[in-house]
Every structure is written in structure tokens, then in C-alpha cells.
Amino acid sequence: MESPEDVKTEEESTTHIEEELAGGKESKLTTQKFGTFSGVIRPTILTILGVMMYLREGWVVGNAGLLGALLIIFMAYLITGATALSLSSITTNIRIGAGGVFSIATQSLGLEVGGSIGIPFFLAQALSTAMYIYGFMEGWVFIFPEHPKILVVVGVFALVFTISFISTSLAFRIQVLVMTGVILALASMFAGLNSIPELQSPQLFGSFESSNYWVLFAVFFPAATGIMVGASMSGNLKEPRKSIPRGTMVAWAFSLLVYVSLAIWYSLVATPEELRSNLLIAVDRAYWGPAVLIGILSSCFTAALSSFVASPRTLQALASHGIVPYSKIFGEMRKNEPRNAILFTGGLILLSLLLGDLNNIARVVTVFFLMTYFVINFILVIENQLSLVSFRPTFKVPVYVPLAGSLACVTAIVIVSPVIGLACILISLGIYIYLERKALENPYETLNTGLFGSIANWAARRVVIDDESNNLRSWKPDILAPIERTTQLEGNFQLLLSMVYPQGSIQVIGFVEKNKLRPMKGLKDTIKEFQEESIFASAALIQSNGFIQSLRTSAAVLKSSFFKPNILFVPIKDRSQEELEGILDVSRDSKLGVVFLAKHPDTGFGKSRNINVWISDQSPNWHLSFQLANIDLPLLIAYKLIRNSNARLKVITLVSNPEHVDPARQYIQDLMTLARIPNGFEVIVIQSSFKSYIHKAPHADINIFGLGSTASKEFMEQAVTQTESTCMFVRNSGIESVLV
């Protein structure tokens, strides 16, 4: 019988399971978890209601006017709102792990994409900390103008760093006190409306004297970027799937209301000139100015603290998957705190503080965040369009929301700072290429398979599969290889690979005896080797009812497949004369080209460096057309062997009439030119019979012959003996052309 202590509630069990499935390593018993308010709403609101609210919003109103400022605010919140909705929808569909945005991108599109966006997001969070520390410094210097700015900056940084290094819980407890200061400041500002003798008439549209609209937007936009703070704390939340969407949307709506209200307040309490020239006008116009100074310092400090707490956890999540250099060091947790990641993040922030200023850092932060928000929105667009069964969010968002968010992010990046935007894109692209080459092992089931499958499904619906409507230009070798033993495939592996690489496909049908349906030994490994060469290859086993009947059934079934076979590849060894004729019948009925392979018992494929293609006598009509009887497929196969095996080609034609030698040679030259066969081929046209000349023909590793309406096994075997080489006997299907 279980004791009460051993019984877990359903909620606790679900949370534990989600942590395990999300790849979390922290134990619920040893790590303090936060709820929706303390873990998401409070830090998000305190991050959003930061330095820009006191030090830059009035400046924006003074330059853009009330309506212009509201337009900037609404545009910023349109982007962050769409992203917040997308984030909320995604987090209700996945088991989000540590790292927030990184976890979402990784689980959706893989570690490579997650890393390429997670690293810039980490940098944006770190730079945000620097931005808020600068804001704190401006408020402090206003109170104590004799204090050196650099010492204030370093002092605030040291305090934020120390608190974050000691404990996340301590940082969150301090936020409770700081929130009181923010509330007091806002109350004092709005109460100031009653103490001002005469309110101003709001200027609806400003003259943009200090900066243009997009510079104002770039400077203000970081004010709305705190919506990701809650998601970044995902590894420290009790129920991230519930807390992140609820908390994020509440914080977004509340902060929007505050910013809109303050824009109106600024337009009423001061003239545009005063708003532009006095960045601390809020202190002068508040009911009690010191309360606003307390709010400025409190807001900037807690926003810096929230960003500092979140950014090392993003770095630790990146390191836990081996994405960043020195991952073992940065991924280490000490007393449930990423101490090494905190140290590195602190150094990065200190460097940015020494090299930048508030406005410049704000622009860089804007682009980094816009890039991150684009990815979040774009992931939801993909999820919606794929319509996969696995996409079942409990918080649903119409597809036009993330689509509008994606377009708005791209537009804003281009307009705000094309140079910084291009640099950010190049950084992300470089990270992606680096991670792709590392061949990371993804611990999650991502959207990639579903994405490619849906693209294939979309393409399949639009590919014309009617036999009478085949597109000659899109032809590629799709081989159907019936086998009865795996060795029939293994022995021809290199030849088949050379015939189809890089865009063709191979579909293997294994015929096994009745009542002995079992995997052919080694077949799976051989198919895998084709796939490792980036070739679409598949295999299926069917119960044999005789070779021809089984082949007919297979060809009929595969006729409606996406990669519909167009070449039937059959070695003649072990095949009877009747079976060869039956194979031709199947190929005619299914409109398949045929390649009969007659391998030399001693030389095999030799060095595969010399190929002879025999073109039959076309006398007296030496006329080129787009489809040439028993010429197109032999030359197309020869072309593939030339490109993939670096082989040399000789084209041989025998004519019975001496007068046809020159027209035949010109015909072959024109054919090879129009067919764009690589240079280096040799044309041989001789007046002779096949029987007389075959002994004298130049030696080749492979001889390719056109095949008529019938097949003679005896003739094929004699050709192998007489040429002392492997021979291929090829017949067109009628749906290929070497001249297109």
C-alpha cells in the first residue's frame, strides 16, 4: 500500500513526464519552480515597462506627435503581439524545454535552426541588459550629476551580476520590491495631471526634427521586446505549457495599455519642444518627481535583472546540446544555476557597456529581436500549412496572424537597419552551416520530415502522371529493379548508382518464394548505401507467383507512384528466352524503357572508363527529331555514365551503303552537339556488317546497344563473347528524349 507521500497528483505527474520528454535534466524535487505570475507575468511586465517608458517615449511623442507615436507603439505591438500569439499557440502544442525560443525552434525545425536563431537571441538578451543599465545610469546621473557615468554603469552591472550569480530565486524576490516602485511611479505620473495648471493641446503629427519615423521606431521597439522573458524561463516554470501563453498575453495587453496611456499623458503635460529637449520630463511633470526617479531606477534595474537572469539560461540550453564552443563548460549547472554561462554572459555585457550607448544598442537589439520574432511566427505558419495531425494546440491562432507577423518583421528589419539586418542574417546563416557540418544528433522529432513530405505531397498533386502527358524536359532515370537474390543488386551497385545519380531513383522489388516471405539478407543495408549517396531508394518484398506475373503486378502498382519507374533494369543471367520476351511485353504495356544487362563473367565492368554506344543504320533517312527510335535512352544512359564515372565515349554506326557514310557521320555529329554530350567523344562510321565488324570494334568496358521489338538471349551472350566486355541492351519507352 502506498503512503500519501508516494502518491503524486495528476498535475505533478504530467509536469514530470513533460520535463523528461522535453529533455530537461533538472529534477522537480531539487529545482524551485515558478508559477504564471511570478515566472512569466511579473518579469515580463517589468522588462517591458523599463527604460523606454521613462526616458524615450516622451522624446518619441515630441518628434512624431501623438498619432505618430501611437502608430509607432501599435506597429511595435503588432509585431510583438503576433509573436506572442504565435508563441502561445506553439507552446500549447509542444513540451517546451529549457531555453524558451531556442527550445521552440529546435523542436520545430531541428538543432541547426534552433542554434542559428538561439545564439542571436542570446546576444539580444545580453545586449538588452546593457541597454537597461544605460537607462539606469541616465536616471542616476540626473539625481547625482557629479557621479561619473562609467562608475555608475560598472556599479549597477556588478550588482545585477552578483544577484543573478547567487540565485534566480533571489532575483525574482527582488522583483517584488521593484514592482512596488514601478506602480508608485506610474501613479505619481498620472496624478500629476491634476497638479499641472494648464494641460497642452496634443500635437497629432510631429515634425520629426530629431530623427525620422523609422529611427524613432528602431529606438522605441526594444520597449516591447520583453515578451520572451517568460519563455526563456521555461525550464524554471511549474507548467510552462500553461504559464507561458497565459502570462505572455496578459503582460503584453497590460503593457500596451500602459504605453498608450503614457503617450497621451506625455502629449498633455508638455510641449513637443520640451519633450524633445528634456528626456526626464516625466520627473518634472509628475505629482511627486522622486517617485518617478525611483520608478526609473527600479524599472531599469529589474529589467536588466530579468534579462540577465534569462540570457545565461538560453546559453546553457544551447550548450546542453553541444551547439556552442566549450559546451561542456557552459552547459554545467551548479546548485541548479548555470554559473559558467552567467560568468560568460557577464563578460559580454560588460564589453558592450564599455563600447556602446543607449540608442546604438537599442538599434542592434531591435534587429536581433525582429529576427527571432520572424522565426517564431514563421514556425507557426509552417505548422498551420502542413496540417499535420500532431499539430493540436489548445490555443489556436488564425494563420493570418503569424503570416502578418512574419511580413512585419522582415519589413521592419529592412527599413530599420539593412546593414545590421544583413549582418544578423549572415551570422545566423554562418551558424546554421557550421552546425549542419557538425551533424548534430537531434533529440526531438522535428517538422522537417513533415515539411518535406508535404512538399512532396503538393508536388505529387501537380505532377502530370498521365502517360500521354509526360514532360520530356523533366525526365530523370527512375529505375525498377526486380530481384530474386540480394546479390543481383549488390553486384550492380556501382553501375546503378552511376545511372541515377544525383536526381534519379531506384525501386527494388524482391520476389520471394511462396510461403517463404522473409527479408532478403543484406537488402536493407544495400538500400541504405544508396540513400547515403543521396539517392531516393526503396525496397519491397512480394510473394512470387512467377517472375513475369510478379513483375507485371509490380509495374502496374508502381505506375501510380510519385517516383513512377521509367526504366526496367534486368540482368539476363538466369532469365530464359521466354522470360526476356515476357519482360518486353510488360515494358510495352507499362511504357517502361528496358535495360537488359549481360555482364562479362571475367571483366565485369572493367574500369568503367570506356563506353561504346552502337547506333543502328538510319539509312536512307538521316533526319533528327525530338524522339529517336532506340537512340534516346542509350545516349541518356551513356551521358549519365560519362558524368558519374568520368568515362570516354565512342559512338559507332555501321552502314551498308558507302554513300551513307558522310550523311551518317554528319547526323551523329549534329546529334551529339544538340544532345550537349560532353566534349571528347569519338564518332566512328564505317561501311560494314555488324557480324564482320564487332570483332574489330574498339575495346570498351561497356557496350550499349539499341534493342528491337524482340530479344534474343543467344545474340546478347554472343555480343558479350565477341566484344569481350559487359553489354547493355536498351530500348526506349517513348517518354524520353536526348535532345530536349
Between 313-322, 477-486, 706-715, the lowest mean confidence (pLDDT) is in: 313-322
Per-residue pLDDT tens over the stretch 343-361: 999 998 888 887 666 566 7
Q: Where are the alpha helices (DSSP H) in 228-324?
A: 229-232, 240-269, 272-277, 281-285, 289-320
Alpha-carbon distance 32 to 168, whole Å? Answer: 9
Alpha-carbon distance 512 to 445, whole Å? Answer: 35
Structural domains of the chain ordered from first start? 4-21+34-438 (1.20.1740.10), 471-590 (3.40.50.620), 599-740 (3.40.50.620)
> Between vectors from CA 535 to CA 532 and to CA 536, what angle results, nearest 5°?
115
Asked whether the whole model's pTM tops 0.85, one would answer no
Nearest one of 133, 131, 129, 122 to 312, comparing CA atoms: 122
pLDDT (0 to 100) of residue 173:
73
pLDDT bucket at 18, cuts 50 / 70 / 90? very low
Q: Which residue has the higher pLDDT, 100 or 117?
A: 117
pLDDT (0 to 100) of residue 263:
95
pLDDT (0 to 100) of residue 518:
59
Q: Which residue has the higher pLDDT, 435 or 157?
A: 157
Alpha-carbon distance 79 to 375, whole Å? Answer: 12
pLDDT at 388 over 70: no
pLDDT bucket at 366, cuts 50 / 70 / 90? confident
Q: Which residue has the higher pLDDT, 351 or 701?
A: 701
Highest mean pLDDT among 310-314, 563-567, 615-619, 712-716: 712-716
Joined grid coordinates for residue 389: 495531425
C-alpha distances (whole Å) from 436 to each of 429, 442, 449 are 10, 11, 16
pLDDT (0 to 100) of residue 468:
45
3-state secondary structure of 653: strand
Alpha-carbon distance 248 to 88, whole Å? Answer: 8
Contact 694, 721 (CB under 8 A): no
pLDDT (0 to 100) of residue 1:
38
Residue-wise burial string across 526-552, b where 16 or more C-beta atoms lie within 10 A, e elsewhere = bbeebeeeebebebebeebeebbebbb
pLDDT bucket at 465, cuts 50 / 70 / 90? very low
3-state secondary structure of 567: strand
pLDDT (0 to 100) of residue 422:
84
* Count of Cβ atoms closer than 10 Å to residue 556 Cβ: 12
C-alpha distances (whole Å) from 722 to each of 60, 283, 696, 701 are 90, 102, 9, 13
Q: Is 264 exposed, middle or buried (0-12, 13-18, 19+ CB in 10 A)?
A: middle
Q: What does DSSP say about strands 726-731 and 593-598: parallel, antiparallel, or unpaired?
A: antiparallel
Mean pLDDT, the chain, rounded, equals 82
The residue whose grid cell reads 507603439 is 73
pLDDT at 728 over 50: yes
Per-residue pLDDT tens over the stretch 114-139: 888 888 888 888 888 888 888 788 87
pLDDT (0 to 100) of residue 40:
85
Average pLDDT over every residue of 535-553: 89
CB proximity list for 242: less than 8 A, separation 6 or greater: 36, 92
Q: Which residue has the higher pLDDT, 391 or 475?
A: 475
